[in-house]
A = this chain, B = another copy of it.
Amino acid sequence: MANLKQLAQSLGLSVTTVSRALDGYSDVSAATRQRVQEAADKAGYRPNASARRLRKQRAELVAVTLPSEPGHIGPLHFLDMLSGCAEHLAGAGLNLVIAPVPHGESELDMCRRFVDGRRVDAMLLVRTKRHDERVEFLQSRGFPFVTNGRTESVIQHPYIDGDGFSGFNAATLRFHRDGHRRIAHVGAPQEYFFAHARRQGWEAAMRECGLATDLDLQQAPTEQGGYEAALALLARSDRPTAIVCATDEMAIGVLRALREVDGGLSISVIGHDDLPIGAFTSPALSTMRMTGGNLGRSFASLLLRTIAGEPAETLQELHAIEFVDRDSHRLPPIAA
């Protein structure tokens, strides 16, 4: 209702003084400041956000891209993360806008819109690819951004990621220690960094154990993708006795295939992400997850520090992976 001019007029002061009083500058007397503060409170005055943004050349917004393409929308615990991120950003006066890619527009176009229209101060990218055109674009513009997941970009950039290689390496080695020899990998498209890293971890472990790496399939990172991959594996004469899955969604699809073909759990399975849903599947899904606590808070912090101009090298978090052992990984290797 009230703007600065009206407020100033009603106080017999200039807009400058009122503005500076409210912003806590030292060149306004304590008495005046108090008078201004009270009047502002009484009038319920809040500075017009658009005006301030224009003047300060900051959008006070951060956008997060939501890939709506394969299967569902990102990991399912995403909203919790975003909510935490938004809350911490709000503490610094930034709001978080969610930006699903509109039908008929590429994710790159969307970045362009946000960046060139100065709609946001930074971007949060999820589901990075090994060669990610969004990353390249933002780097070419010198625009602040943080990714969830690494890339193979030669120029460094801020990211938070789990050490998928080590996680899948360890999971595979553990299967080997448990006596498994035919350990399959059900992966996601290798253009995604996370999918590639996880597959590499599996592959390195297999080589280390002197095992062949041909029990390997890629599918869409969805329940359906996992289902189809499992069907293909079950049809082989050299069936695996254990399967490591790139994502929990895929692992759940694998469990469904096992139920349908063998009537239950006939092969050990482990997933990745620790979706809440995994606790309720039968058998309960064994999985892995990133350590590191409040992810949303970390993203918010990295975004703020990126905007503040900290160099990318100091803004990279690689978190260890830990096992979440439930029931699906415990089958002896001779089950088939």
Contacts and interface: CB of A to CB of B under 8 A. Distances in A.
Interface of A: 1, 44-51, 53-54, 57, 59, 61, 63, 66, 68, 72-74, 76, 78-80, 82-84, 86-87, 90-91, 95-103, 112-113, 116-119, 252, 276-277, 280-282
A264 B100 CA distance: 42
B83 A116 contact: no
A72 B99 CA distance: 23
A68 B83 contact: yes
A119 B52 CA distance: 11
Contacts of A90: 99-100, 102
Contacts of A117: 46-49
A76 B73 CA distance: 12
19 contacts: A45-B116, A46-B113, A46-B118, A48-B54, A49-B117, A49-B118, A50-B57, A63-B95, A66-B83, A72-B80, A73-B79, A76-B79, A79-B79, A86-B97, A86-B99, A86-B100, A87-B100, A97-B97, A280-B282
Nearest to A277: B277
A172 to B, nearest CB: 26
A280 B110 CA distance: 36
A277 B97 CA distance: 27
Contacts of A1: 116
A98 B98 contact: yes
Nearest to A91: B102
A78 B112 CA distance: 27
Q: Can you tell how many copies of this chain the complex includes?
A: 2
Given A82-B98, A83-B98, 8 more contacts: A48-B117, A53-B54, A66-B86, A68-B83, A68-B87, A95-B119, A96-B97, A97-B98
Contacts of A48: 54, 117-118
Given A100-B83, A280-B252, A116 B50 contact: no
A51 B49 contact: no
Contacts of A101: 87
Given A54-B51, A118-B49, A277-B280, A99 B95 contact: yes
Contacts of A113: 46
Contacts of A98: 82-83, 86, 96-98
A251 B81 CA distance: 25
A133 to B, nearest CB: 16
A50 B53 contact: yes
A117 B44 CA distance: 10
Contacts of A73: 79-80, 83
A280 to B, nearest CB: 5
A54 B51 CA distance: 6
A116 to B, nearest CB: 4
Contacts of A54: 48, 50-51, 53-54
A331 to B, nearest CB: 18
Give the 4 A-B CB pairs with smallest separation, nearest first.
Answer: A46-B117, A50-B53, A50-B54, A79-B79
Nearest to A96: B98
A252 B281 CA distance: 12
